[in-house]
Structure 1
Amino acid sequence: MSAPVRALSTDEAAAFRLLRLLAAESSPYFMAALFATVPVAAPGLGTFAVDASWRLYMDPELLVGPEAWPQTDAAGVLLHEVGHLIRDHAGRGEQLPQPMSHGAWNYAADAEINDDLIAAGIPLPAGVVTPEALGCDPGQLAEDYYQTTQAAGWPEPSPGEGCGSGAGTWASPVELPADVDVDGRGSLSDADGDMVRRHVAEAVREAVEGAKGRGNVPAGLARWAADVLAPPQIAWQAVLRGAVRHAVALAAGQTVHTYSRPSRRRVPGVILPAMRGPKVRVGIVVDTSGSMGQADLDAAMAEVAGVLRAGGVDRSRVLLYACDAATSTAQRVTNIIHIELVGGGGTDMRVGIAAAEHDRADVVVVLTDGDTPWPDTPTRSRLVCAVIRHSKPTGTPEWATTVHITPGRS
């Protein structure tokens, strides 16, 4: 049986700091993430693991003593575990078709990380999972590896094995509640985690551009950083707020009281409910016709990410429709990494708008180069026409909100 999780001892903390230094020296762009994790000792765990709150659980026998891993291997495992947090494997795992195979996802996520670590020359223990070991080509995403691994029927590890809830698999039995402090340090919130990811992505981009850092950045990591940093050009918070003002009544009659989060008002001896307004349903129609080049699609994906980050938008109610002259099946998406864009034919965004309205969208955002017919009469939902082209957009309905996006502008 494992002993209770505790703070690192003096010797263990010294060993961990050395591993962190070795890891940072080999991958300096991971510095922010390495120092953001909260290290704890998990006696009997037999490995390293992470939870979704950025705690790093380490079996102390692997840090110090006769059974300790070689320092270079242990530093590589540290980078591996931090890699799960950086790439948000927990959040991405939640978006897989349910019920998911926890074992297949852990293998797939491991392969995505190890592929880049090996390419960077990072030493790892023998027998780590690689794309080749899964029968896959390197350079793909964990979602691609997952499909192959799940279809191959790889054996499921026992619940509790693997890299922990921070990798999107089963929570390790030793994992602590998010609100528990260890040695005076708490866990990271989702917002803090996103901020760390952005810091790492910026460091990766600087390394790619040669501003600082050593060696070559693995292609998969560079691609991840580019996705994280792709900035939206539109202030979607303001655009959606204006559109939603017409689409969703925020009057008191539509505001409900809830005790799930008490009110900030304090009355002695009385618990008051908070007031919660309705969340917004957003339909995003992406033009995938033949006239949309790769730069146009990249610009569209940056704006999709901006919509997802806008306040007041319930990510569980965001649906995306890839549309040319026909519409693909609606995709529920909380992260642009999961989006599949299919198409290449003619152009008629009215089809996608109709599909979004059928799914009861409050706001429909159309990302297109503008070479499409538009509805003749106002739609039930508020329509936002985001036109991607170098010249000012023309031809959009007067009753719609129109914004202009320049492709290729960072």
Structure 2
Amino acid sequence: MSDQPALDRFASARLWAAARAPYLASALFALTPLPHGSAPPRPAADEHWNLHLDPVTTAATPVPELGWWLLHHVGHLLRDHHARARPYREEALRWARAADAEVNDDLPDAPAGTISPETLGLPDGLLAERYAELLDLIDPPAHLAPCAEPPFTGPEAMTALERELLARAVAAEIDARGTAPGGWRRWAETTLRPEVDWRAVLARLVRRGLAQASGRVDYSYRRPSRRATAAPPFVLPALVRPLPRVAVLVDTSGSVSRTALERALAELDGVLRATGHRWLDVICCDTEAHPAQRVREAARVELVGGGGTDLRPGFEAASPRADVLVVLTDGDTPWPERRPRPYVVTCLFGTRHPAPAWASTVRVPR
């Protein structure tokens, strides 16, 4: 069967979608249609802006319905959901539902069986990461299936720089018109005037702490001094600069989301590996410090606890063994009255509570 009927239907649907959402016209015309027999029945986009189309079902799909799917996939691509999905590799279904909820929040007249905040019974106007947290608390209806992504990709239709420039151009169009739905206006505001990336701040603060701690040198007989002495029986110690010891104090009280903690732990894991650390020493604490866990990767940390919040026992347990202490908490805790011995980096989830003046602090969005 010729692919031309499917391509003609795609072209008509793209014009319909551009008329429906003119602020997304540039993105719609950046899609590259790829008809092929192994495509799923519904259109599916890959991260390179290729739209995989089944020739038979595409040619038979009504133009408004196909146009709706084009707007849906442009929403995923512009909001960079492929990259944002990486922390959820082991929870792909939950992330797919959450990402669909974020996108379809701004798309009325959805086809039957699609996911939206309304069909899930969740508040609208949230980001996919927040929907992923809330999906932990509910049992989504079985008939609501996320749009499946293809297990393959096509050619790189645009470079990463071209995709970034396109996103900024679309954001500028949305900002200039001022008539787009609320979710798109918020996305445009964030794209054009981005907040500081908490991941970059965390990496910078941890590296600063490691650099400061590594300046603490000591003498060791494991490596004798190179300065020879006149009396051979005497062996002098040499100055050494050991790899700083890093501990992680995790607030596992009921007020902190497990998803947020896992995301921050995974990011911290990457920072430490880049600096030569191969182990992660983690202490979970609610109102008591649980036994320290030494793991090779963040995914192996068992987050134990769930009661009230008092991190002071955790500070007491971690301080003797650490040169740098990273604290993951929402800040709703009593703090030690005095500055702890280690260099402290605090990851604060949310904006409700402050950190002590002696801690280097990064704010992590919930």
Deviation at 1:90, TM superposition (A): 4.7
User: In angstroms, what is the RMSD of aligned CA positions?
Assistant: 6.1
Partner letter of residue 372 of structure 1?
W
1:352 and 1:226 mapped to 2: Cα distance? 39
Contact between 2:45 and 2:73, CA under 8 Å: does it hold in 1?
A: yes
Contact between 1:30 and 1:200, CA under 8 Å: does it hold in 2?
A: no
- Aligned position for 2:224: none
Is 1:43 aligned with 2:37? Answer: yes
- Aligned position for 2:21: 27
Aligned length: 306
Partner letter of residue 364 of structure 1?
V
| Cα shift readout 1:166-210 (whole Å, capped 9, x = no counterpart) | xxxxx2xxx23xxx63xxx44666x877x4797389559x64xxx
Contact between 1:284 and 1:318, CA under 8 Å: does it hold in 2?
A: no
Partner letter of residue 107 of structure 2?
L
Deviation at 1:95, TM superposition (A): 4.1
Deviation at 1:48, TM superposition (A): 0.1
Q: Could you list the runs of 5+ residues in structure 2 that have no partner in the other structure? A: 216-242, 300-305
Partner letter of residue 113 of structure 1?
V
- Aligned position for 1:261: none
Among 58, 70, 76, the residue aligned to 1:78: 70
**Residues 127-142 of structure 1 correspond to what in structure 2 (within 5 A)?**
127-131=113-117, 133-134=119-120, 136-139=121-124, 141-142=131-132
Partner SS, residue 373 of structure 1: coil
- Aligned position for 1:212: 177
| Cα shift readout 1:51-80 (whole Å, capped 9, x = no counterpart) | 34443212234555xx2x333221211111
- Aligned position for 1:231: 196
2:20 and 2:323 mapped to 1: Cα distance? 48
2:169 and 2:249 mapped to 1: Cα distance? 29
1:362 and 1:142 mapped to 2: Cα distance? 31
Contact between 2:27 and 2:170, CA under 8 Å: does it hold in 1?
A: no
Partner letter of residue 144 of structure 1?
L
TM-score by length of 2: 0.54
| Cα shift readout 1:324-373 (whole Å, capped 9, x = no counterpart) | 8678999x999xxxxxxx99x77x65455567779989552578599832
- Aligned position for 2:234: none
Partner SS, residue 117 of structure 1: coil
Q: Could you list the runs of 5+ residues in structure 1 that have no partner in the other structure? A: 166-170, 250-277, 291-300, 335-341, 406-410
Task: Decide whether aligned partners of structure 1 residues 14 and 226 sit closer, same or farther in structure 2, where only a CA change above 3 A counts.
Answer: same
Contact between 1:237 and 1:311, CA under 8 Å: does it hold in 2?
A: no
Deviation at 1:164, TM superposition (A): 1.0
Task: Decide whether aligned partners of structure 1 residues 132 and 202 sit closer, same or farther in structure 2, where only a CA change above 3 A counts.
Answer: closer
Among 194, 199, 216, the residue aligned to 2:168: 199
- Aligned position for 1:115: 105
TM-score by length of 1: 0.49
| Cα shift readout 1:261-286 (whole Å, capped 9, x = no counterpart) | xxxxxxxxxxxxxxxxx9x9784868
Contact between 2:319 and 2:340, CA under 8 Å: does it hold in 1?
A: no
Deviation at 1:27, TM superposition (A): 3.4
1:321 and 1:29 mapped to 2: Cα distance? 49
Task: Decide whether aligned partners of structure 1 residues 312 and 322 sit closer, same or farther in structure 2, where only a CA change above 3 A counts.
Answer: closer
2:97 and 2:31 mapped to 1: Cα distance? 22
Contact between 2:249 and 2:283, CA under 8 Å: does it hold in 1?
A: yes
Work out the percentage of aligned pairs sharing the same amino acid: 25
Structure of larger gyration radius: 2
Contact between 2:33 and 2:52, CA under 8 Å: does it hold in 1?
A: yes
